[in-house]
Structures are given as C-alpha cells and as structure tokens.
Amino acid sequence: MSASRLQTSYGRWYSLIMLQTRRLLAFSSRVHTYTLLLYIFFFLVYLLGSFFSVTEDFVELLQFFLYLISWTSLLFGVWILVFSCIVWAGDRVFPLSPVLLTIARMMCILALGFVVALLETLFEKGLVVS
C-alpha cells in the first residue's frame, strides 16, 4: 500500500467521524429546543392556573415539572457547550450557531425561571408596600 493511498483513507475516516459529531451536535441542539418548548408549555399552564381555580396539588406538580425541565435543559445545554468545544478541538472550525442558540435557550430558561420564582413569591407572600 502506498503512502498517498493510506493518507486518503485516513482523511475519509476522519471526515466521516467529524460529520457524525456535527450531526450529533445538530440533533442535540434540536432536542434542546424541544426542551425549551416543553418548558414554555408548562410555564403557560402555570400562568393559566392563576386565572382558574386549581388545587394546590396541581400547582405543586406544575412547579415540580418546571424545576425538573429547567434543570434538565440547563444541564443538557452545558453538555452541548462542552460537546461544541470537543467538536471545535477536533475539527478546528468553531460551531458558532449551536453555541449561540444554546446560550440563548439557556438564558430563556433562566429568565422564565426567574418569572416563576417572582410569581410564586408574589402569590405566597403578597406585595408589601412600606
């Protein structure tokens, strides 16, 4: 086997692995978007629960799902950011779009979580003007 033939097979093997890792990164980014949509759904149900008569158990269940999905989404976002760095180190091309979109989705989750915490404090303790 000649040296030039050996290098081409290595190049094809390397590009196939980089293609698979980029596909995995794109799929992970899509799944992260779906977790954001799921969080928005439970957030809207939580907001609509304040307009209708619901039981305390239902509100607690909604809060549990909001906490579970928020932590899952944030940890999954951290995994996507770490995996983006791994892809960057291996491919030498920075995956800018997945990184920026992941950071934006994580900021949305944090902002909505802040709104949930603010509303929960307002509902339980009320508004005090001094």
pTM score, two decimals?
Answer: 0.80
51-106 pLDDT per residue, tens:
888 898 998 999 999 999 999 999 999 999 999 998 888 888 889 999 999 999 99
Contact at 8 Å (CB) between 42 and 8?
no
Cα 114 to Cα 12, 70, 110, 121: the distances in Å are 48, 11, 6, 11
Query: Above 60 in pLDDT, residue 40?
Result: yes
- Residue 120 pLDDT: 86
Return the structure tokens found at 63. Answer: 């809060």
Contacts 24+ apart (CB under 8 A), 23-31: 24/83, 25/80, 25/83, 25/84, 25/87, 25/95, 25/98, 26/98, 28/76, 28/79, 28/80, 28/83, 28/98, 29/80, 29/98, 29/101, 29/102, 31/76
